[in-house]
Amino acid sequence: MTLIIDLSTPLTPRDKSRRPPTIQYVDHEASAGRSAAVYGINTDDFREGRYAAIEHITLTTHDTTHMDAPWHYHPTSEGKPAKTIDEIPLEWCYGDGLVLDFHHKKAGDRIDAEDIQKALDALGYSLKPFDIVLIRTDAYLHREEEGFENVHPGVTRDGTLYLIDHGIKVMGIDAWGWDRSLDAMIRDLKAGDSEQFWESHYLGKEKEYCHLERLAHLDKIPFPFGFKVAVFPVTIEGASAGWVRAVAIID
């Protein structure tokens, strides 16, 4: 029997990130009243005075689990117009999954190329083009706490470049962002180190790739490889990102 593990975070008003979504829930009775006014009918024309429940949501494309397209990083990538999320090849979004476990790293720590190589060596795994590499930090466990953007380690420019140079097009992390925690980057920026500020995001100008942010449950995948991952983004014309219902598939 196929096992499917949800790697996504729910869209919830309890979100404590810097851009919390708002969700207005319209129940069946309220929907009947509103719709009756629009249709020019009576509320009791609906069975039991109830109609279809709906929700009105305000959020950005970078809320909840999402994929960043190259357009998010810069207008161009590798000297060409950067792909928007609706231009991402679907073939990039399904493939062999690999979890690299860095949950021992602390908030603001760097995950660099040497760290990634050591993790691969420990697993005896060689990267293949179009593997989908998932970085486990367990930071997602804090997604409903204040300061969620400040609790994770992040992947450095050379760590990201290492993956890209091995043919990886899509990579992801179970944290607020792919780069280091926001407070760590700002602290180091104010100390004079501007090169590290959003270093992996800015790499997207030079190298074409996508990363997933705000994944969850990487700790629930029973083994580090030998499973499939599906991370198809919602198609939003001309957008910098798209929401994803990410899953691991184990046969």
Measured distance CA(4)–CA(15) in Å, rounded:
25
128 and 188: one domain?
yes
Instruction: Give the model confidence (pLDDT) of 54-83 as tens digits.
Output: 999 999 999 999 999 999 999 999 999 999
Structural contact between residues 17 and 181, judged by C-beta atoms closer than 8 angstroms:
no
CATH number, domain at 106?
3.50.30.50
Distance CA 130, CA 5 (A): 20
Q: Which domain holds residue 48?
A: 22-58
- The answer to whether the beta carbons of residues 91 and 109 sit under 8 Å apart is no
Residues 33 and 97 in one domain: no
Residues 137-194: tens digit of each pLDDT: 999 999 999 999 999 999 999 999 999 999 999 999 999 999 999 999 999 999 999 9
Pairing of strands 170-173, 210-213: parallel
* Cα angle for residues 90, 168, 217 (degrees, 5° grid): 80
Same domain, 76 and 135: yes
Q: 10 Å Cβ neighbour count for 196? A: 18
DSSP count for the chain of H helices, then E strands: 6, 15
128 and 39 in a common domain: no
